[in-house]
Structure 1
């Protein structure tokens, strides 16, 4: 018998896929779902959080939970090695490794990597620079099954980045993206050299190889020095 929160999650997915809940539609609240399925509010919240993490739902404090316009997918944002992007603009690239170690995955990041809570994962935090200015703070959790030597890499040497290395050992087949504007914490403001009130752009990304989820990354950019764009053919 599957956990109750998964029953709620799968039911909501079925309603979305069948069109009962259309894009932009408001989803029942935690209390309403708890009553409908006879579970606790915490169980209902877990189901909504799981769908929000996957980009299926958007949760807005004070307004409610809504069906996203579309699930994040890799054809909206091209995944490129940031060092190559910067060099392509004719600029100088550099990076600083702030953290690179193995750690125990908590429930949140274990779920995003498709692992069990408590399993070992690699974690890295890198600050990428363009012409001497910080352009991206990258935090990444990596499944050791697909990149067992990740913790031994010398990122920054020879323009080696996590994206380049992972695509060598576990070639990318697909990815999920979630893009949002966030308020910068004091530490993030300092690392990215943001002025007071300057917007920060956050990209959350999961990358997949043929056998499963390879990594989950959170990429933070200064709003005044970075834009996302692209071209989509229909």
Structure 2
């Protein structure tokens, strides 16, 4: 059965899949209108509308005499502040959604105990969530929380409230620590992020404090071709 989407939206969907999937990186030249019209069996006017709309949305840019190119429009987070990823996505005018993979209480292993500042085998809260922008995975968040400081954490409906929202409401964040590196991920992580094990990802280790209390340790994995991190420093 064919798609029920209008023809110009079918073309847009095809172009966005190529862009968001990493097949067409920033500055890649997309096929000309004439070729898209032939490929989809539509008029050039219909192909033009599909491209024009994506130009207006910031996904594409036209360069007279040269063609149409993919813009550098990666999702972006600050390295200095801790923001709610749902608000970041909506702030770009996009649709936020997520997949809640795990929400449980576990015994802290060596790494978690060390990172979270608790004794080995201490019960801690653990969530694993895939965050999506317009349906495309942009972050796999694995978070460990000290129940002493956020006792109601697991009572949250994480489909509607992100871990960040819960932590900020329970314990105002005073200090953060970030460690960022490029990594290759395993098959399970690649599947969750709709990428493959040969494509580099950005890994961020984040620890957050509220006053003297270390409340959370998170491992955040982003597909490298869809995400960038930003830092700003203002000197007096």
TM-score by length of 1: 0.65
Contact in 1 for aligned 2:131/2:138 (Cα 8 Å): yes
Q: Which of 86, 89, 103 lines up with 1:86 in the alignment?
A: 89
Are 1:97 and 1:127, in contact at CA under 8 Å, matched by a contact in 2?
Answer: yes
Task: Report whether the alignment pairs 1:131 with 2:134.
Answer: yes
Would the aligned equivalents of 2:186 and 2:197 in 1 still touch at CA under 8 Å?
Answer: no
CA distance in 2 between partners of 1:155 and 1:196 (Å): 28
Q: Tell me, what secondary structure is at the counterpart of 1:227? A: strand
Give the 3 Å change call, closer, same or farther, for CA 83–112 of structure 1 in structure 2. same
Distance in 1 separating the partners of 2:205 and 2:177? 8
- Stretches of structure 1 that go unaligned for 5 or more consecutive residues are 1-74
> Which residues of structure 2 form unaligned runs of 5+?
1-77
CA distance in 2, matches of 1:190, 1:127: 11
Q: Structure 1 residues 101, 87: CA separation in 2 closer, same or farther (over 3 Å shift)? A: same
Partner of 1:207: 208
Please point out which of 114, 135, 140 is paired with 2:143. 140
Which aligned segments of 4 or more residues in structure 1 are displaced greater than 4 angstroms? none
Give 1:77 deviation, angstroms.
2.7
RMSD: 1.3
- The change in CA–CA distance for 1:196 and 1:175 in structure 2 (over 3 A counts) is closer
- Per the TM alignment, residue 231 of structure 1 is displaced from its structure 2 partner at its CA by 1.8
Normalised by the length of structure 2, the TM-score is 0.65
- Cα gap change, 1:141 to 1:101, in 2 (>3 Å): same
DSSP 3-state at the match of 1:141: strand
- In the other structure, the counterpart of 2:51 is none
Instruction: Classify the secondary structure of the residue corresponding to 1:96.
Output: strand
1:175 CA drift (Å): 0.7
How many residue pairs get aligned? The number is 158
Give secondary structure in 1 for the equivalent of 2:227: coil
Q: Which residue in the other structure is 1:228 paired with?
A: 229
Q: CA deviation at 1:88?
A: 0.6
Counterparts of 2:231 and 2:156, CA distance in 1: 31
Counterpart for residue 161 of structure 1: 162
Contact 1:194 1:222 in 2 (8 A): yes
Larger radius of gyration: 2
